[in-house]
């Protein structure tokens, strides 16, 4: 029983990391249909922001707290810049966007290699997050709990923004019907850029979380990006709850499979499970109901 619970918690914490990464994608992919392969490098930017900050500020706790908003801003700014420079020119060609942003991601990775060096770097976790608590034989690592909390907090914040603020209303309007939003006087270009800023910023926050799990390096983001995209594909692009459910489901599935087989077999089985799932729901778990054919 404790084995099951331990594996479930491992799965949920894998899911929390996936969720943090996929959250930003849900926004950018969901709103604009843009596949931003450089999303992984925004994660990396967030992680390196934490690392640099830790060199400058002593005290892992303080630097972590400062890193969260700072990483959001750094990654968000990079995202907004990318949107302005390249992506807005390619809205009608989503598949080409994928390849273009992959090129950007290659360059950013190499840039990180040139600036920070190819080997991975380790950041120190605050003392509070290094221990673990045990409840009824089940071990909860503090850093994993923190990431879970952070992920849920981000989901909550994003939900509130989308539901309650004028900005959120504009974002939803553009998602549901871009043309109608535009003729209603919404500056869709500006909404796009803001959405991209928030989505990329969330990648930065995910990067901060990753520094707590292990060493970080130039390829940190790439390792997660495909899995994160799968979360969005399975969850459906229209609603956040699809991504939330999928992230945790895939996390638990992965961890259970890894426990009963091997890491490599688990990867293959998860992919097969996704293809089978898409037979049942080709548009993902939650879809936006429209009358369009596509």
Least Cβ distance, residue 163 to another protein (angstroms): 27
Least Cβ distance, residue 5 to another protein (angstroms): 27
Q: Which is nearer to another protein, 103 or 131 (CB)?
A: 103
Least Cβ distance, residue 271 to another protein (angstroms): 5
Q: Which is nearer to another protein, 62 or 85 (CB)?
A: 85
String of DSSP letters for the chain: -HHHHHHHHHHHHHHHHHHHHHHHHHHHHHHH----TTHHHHHHHHHHHHHHHHHHSS-HHHHHHHHHHHHHHHHHHHHHHHHHHTGGGGTT-HHHHHHHHHHHHHHHHHHHHHHH-SS-B--PPPGGGTSEEEETTEEEEHHHHHHHHHHHHHHHHHHHHHHHSHHHHHHHHHHH-HHHHHHTT--HHHHHHHHHHHHHHHHHHHHHHHHHHS-B-TTHHHHHHHHHHHHHHHH-SS-HHHHHHHHHHHHHHHHHHHHHS-HHHHHHHHHHHHHHHHHH-TT-SS----S---
Q: Which is nearer to another protein, 29 or 48 (CB)?
A: 29
Least Cβ distance, residue 225 to another protein (angstroms): 9
Q: Which is nearer to another protein, 180 or 268 (CB)?
A: 268
Q: Which is nearer to another protein, 135 or 275 (CB)?
A: 275
Applying CB under 8 A, the residues found at the interface with another protein are 29, 33, 35, 86, 89-90, 93-96, 98-100, 102-107, 109-110, 113-114, 222, 226, 229-230, 233, 262-265, 267-268, 270-271, 274-276, 278-279, 282, 293-294
């Amino acid at each position: 029983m404790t084995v099951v619970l331990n594996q479930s918690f491992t799965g949920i914490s894998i899911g929390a990391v996936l969720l943090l990464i996929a959250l930003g994608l849900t926004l950018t992919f969901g709103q604009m249909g843009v596949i931003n392969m450089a999303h992984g490098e925004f994660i990396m930017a967030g992680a390196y922001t934490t690392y640099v900050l830790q060199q400058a500020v002593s005290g892992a706790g303080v630097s972590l707290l400062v890193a969260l908003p700072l990483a959001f801003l750094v990654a968000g700014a990079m995202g907004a810049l990318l949107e302005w420079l390249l992506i807005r020119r390619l809205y009608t060609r989503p598949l080409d966007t994928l390849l273009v942003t992959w090129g950007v991601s290659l360059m950013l990775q190499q840039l990180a290699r040139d600036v920070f060096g190819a080997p991975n770097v380790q950041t120190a976790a605050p003392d509070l997050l290094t221990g673990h608590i045990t409840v009824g034989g089940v071990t909860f690592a503090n850093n994993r709990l923190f990431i879970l909390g952070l992920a849920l907090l981000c989901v909550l914040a994003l939900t509130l923004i989308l539901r309650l603020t004028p900005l959120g209303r504009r974002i939803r309007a553009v998602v549901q019907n871009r043309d109608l939003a535009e003729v209603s006087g919404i500056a869709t270009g500006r909404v796009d850029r803001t959405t991209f800023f928030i989505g990329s910023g969330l990648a930065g926050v995910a990067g901060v979380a990753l520094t707590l799990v292990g060493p970080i390096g130039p390829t940190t983001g790439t390792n997660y990006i495909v899995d994160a995209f799968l979360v969005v594909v399975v969850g459906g692009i229209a609603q956040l709850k699809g991504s939330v459910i999928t992230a945790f489901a895939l996390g638990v599935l992965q961890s259970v499979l890894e426990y009963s087989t091997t890491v490599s077999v688990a990867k293959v089985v998860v992919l097969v499970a996704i293809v089978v799932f898409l037979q049942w729901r080709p548009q993902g778990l939650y879809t936006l109901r429209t009358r369009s054919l596509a």
